[in-house]
Amino acid sequence: MEAKKVEDINYKVVFVNAMIGAVATGVTFWLMNRFFKSDGKAGLGIPLKVFASLPVREQARFADEITMKNSKDPKWLVEQLANIDADNPETYLAMEGRSIANCAFIALYGAHDGSRLKCMKILDNLKTMKP
């Protein structure tokens, strides 16, 4: 009889812990959606202005795999950046976190000098943008 009570208590403890974990997870997701929406944010859970102010090496850590693989291909870099105007504020104000990270990666490791300079100019403009 005594073993049954202990077993029942153990099940109740496990159940309560599971419920607490589920509530904590739900609250976490709610907070993330409430305060880190993709509109006006970097899309990586970091406000755009904060992400833009990070050092370039830190930004580059969030680059996607495609950019990392193709950063040594000058032709690919030129094609990707052909329609981007580094002097147009709409270009860098419309960027999201992943685009900034890709730009930072190209600025650091790109095989094409023109592409590296263009990306660095975009990142500089982004750091000086008005909120």
Residues 23 and 59 in one domain: no
Is the pTM here over 0.85, yes or no? no
Based on the fold, state whether residues 1 and 47 are members of the same structural domain. no
Reported as a single tens digit per residue, the pLDDT across 49-76 is: 777 788 888 888 888 899 999 999 999 9
Domain shared by 27 and 52, yes or no = no
Total domain count, the chain: 2
Q: Which residue has the higher pLDDT, 100 or 26?
A: 100
**HEC per residue, the chain:** CHHHHHHHHHHHHHHHHHHHHHHHHHHHHHHHHHHCCCCCECCCCCEHHHHHHCCHHHHHCCCCHHHHHHCCCHHHHHHHHCCCCCCCHHHHHCCCHHHHHHHHHHHHHCCCHHHHHHHHHHHHHHHCCCC
Residue 124 has pLDDT above 70, yes or no: yes
Q: With a cut of 80, say whether residue 99 has pLDDT above it.
A: yes
pLDDT at 35 (0 to 100): 54
Higher pLDDT, 45 or 1: 45
Look up the domain containing 4 and give its range.
1-35
Mean pLDDT score, 119-131 = 80
Confidence of residue 86 (pLDDT cuts 50, 70, 90): confident
**Pair (45, 26) in one structural domain:** no
Domain shared by 120 and 81, yes or no: yes
State whether 26 and 50 are in the same domain. Answer: no
